[in-house]
Chain A
Amino acid sequence: MLDLKLYNNPVKVTWCPGCGDYGILNAVKSALAQLEIYPHEVLFFSGIGCGSKLPDYVNAIAFTTIHGRALPIAMGAKLANHDLHVICITGDGDGYGIGGNHFLNILRRNPDVVHIAENNMVYGLTKGQYAPTSQRGFVTSTTPEGSIEIAFNPLTTAINGGATFVARGFSGDPKHLAKLIMAAIQHKGYALVDVLQPCVIYNKINTYDYYRERVYKLEEAGHDPADRSAAMQRAQEWGDRIPIGIVYQATGEPTYEDQVAALRAGPLAKRRLAPLGPEQAEALRREFF
């Protein structure tokens, strides 16, 4: 176990007091420390939103990008240097709404990327509009009569879409969340950790208390994450009882990187860059003779 202080940096955290993102930040640091991953061995990506500020608060390599686009940027980086751990932090609007197409497509590709989605079911940074994950009837400034859409379910979508690791955590239980993040990092392939994250300002429905009354741990309920149809059932459970833990995990699937010929000789970023030799150059020209 590494010293947690290794991941501290002097940046002042700007989240609201009580924000669910604090629990996620602590869980992320704790997972890295427990897995003994040094700050220079992990590459964080995020989009834009309150939650997407997380990498700014961790001493690690990071790229905070634009709204909705962290996943493809992270995948490009993973393909350029697959020696690094890649962790992608998105909001629910960021990752499932504006970035929805990238979400659907990364599921099928299975790069070895961890995706932590801070799911507060509302748009925090833009001050409280409804989100794709908002529950039906959720009243916000842009849905004054309540949202008339059904909520997006990231878990069923991920399992259906081909994700090889799907988990749900609760930021009110950072210890449990850290365990999930560790499992996600250790999983070979795309790993989604959707995190129930109370927004204390704009979501007065899905609060800490709301979740504390409802969440139960899958590992204590005899759930087998390898059982896909059981996983689909658990993923649909919502209401009085809300499952947290590893919902689904498929092992032994090759990652995207494993299947790319050009990566067999090691990460692209570590190759020496030099002009082609005379024979290779001539062969390329000859293609056009």
Chain B
Amino acid sequence: MTKIGLEIHSQLTKLESKLFCSCKANYREFEPNTNICPICIGLPGSLPRLNQKAVEKATMIAMALNCSTPEKIAFFRKNYFYPDLPKNFQITQLNIYGDTSVGGIGTLMVGEKKIRITRIQLEEDPGRLIYEGSSEKNLVTLVDYNRAGTPLVEIVTEPDFENPREVREFLNILSDLLENLGVSDPSLEGAMRADANVSIEGGNKVEIKNIGSFHDLEKAVHFEITRQQSLHSRNIPIIQETRHWDDKRKITVSSRSKEEDLDYRYFLEGDIPWIKIGNEIKEKLKSEMPESISSKKQRYISKYDIPVQVADVLSSNKFYSDLFEDAHTKENAKEVANIITTDLMGLIDTREKRESSKLKPFHLKEISDSIQSGRITRTSAKNALYEIVKTGKTLSDIISELDLGNVSDEYELLKIIELVILEEPQAVKQAKSNPQTINYLVGKVMQKTKGKADPKLTLDLLKKKIQ
């Protein structure tokens, strides 16, 4: 049986400051080495100053993943030399001397399958190494410490996945969950990274590191399973090792550096006293925790009668569900959900488009109300939505500017219907013998009015005219 386990690193991008200093957690907008201070570059004499908010957010993640949460947590030093590590040790957490990290054993359901979480720990992200130069020989390594000290949560799973698809589904659910908790924005570059370990029946465990995106993770796991199966079928032993994902060639390559042999000489970080996370804090965090995705989904279905698939899509995405929460009333909820999932999601399907969108919740309310009152048709609504996203104007302005108002004037509509009847004698004949085919004629009327004809009125008038 194939066994896959994951080690996911998620930055707490929603925090204001780094884990041990007041530099910005959002380091992305800075020039290299400008989001730094004596603490995060580990200058002699500096000491870590723990960001309590980070501890709270990490604990919240542990609670959302149904993990045990110890009464007291501690930090440890992981000692190793690497140029992206200012102090040549990383402040992290460890559970080998008892459970002292923010989260112990937990579970996350992926459909019907239970994935066990081994532990969750809070740690500091290292800096970034940038390789420049034309050839291997002229390679220059640049170091940017802007990222050094960013709060990072490591989530480790048991090897409970059996195939790359389960891995992908898990990561989707997890990143939705983290976004919904308001702790992280997984769409930010480098905000979520993952390593995997893969073993097949009769083989040793192989770690895969250096995987840039979740998309590649699935590929890397797939490649690794195939590689191991191929070795196995030829009776070549699968050795325990660490392999790196080669992003260009899309294969895993054996690591030259023997990372598994490193001795990290873990010991307690004396500069950060033990932190008590008592029931009082846990209760407070529980009350601050946003509604879970599954509970949202249930509420959408039971309270507003929103179809299961629509509720599913809407609840799992924080951006759209927040929009829904702000825009809906009891009366228009179904319509708002419909507009978001069928039209809006296709319109602003990337992070950049979402950020530049001028749409506000009140727009959605206007549109859904106007559809319900028959002021515009769904087709016109879609056109209006496009304009609103671009300009942010009110629906009324757009209706008058683009002449999107419904043709609901009977006299005007009759003139168009008469024209269609003249142009389509064959279809009229057919409609008389088979009333089902009358929709073809409705469509023709819609075409001529550019979708503005009130569909119900059109049908009524057509029926009258033909009989």
Q: Judge: A and B partners, yes or no.
A: no
Seen from chain B, the residues whose Cβ lies within 8 Å of a Cβ on chain A are none
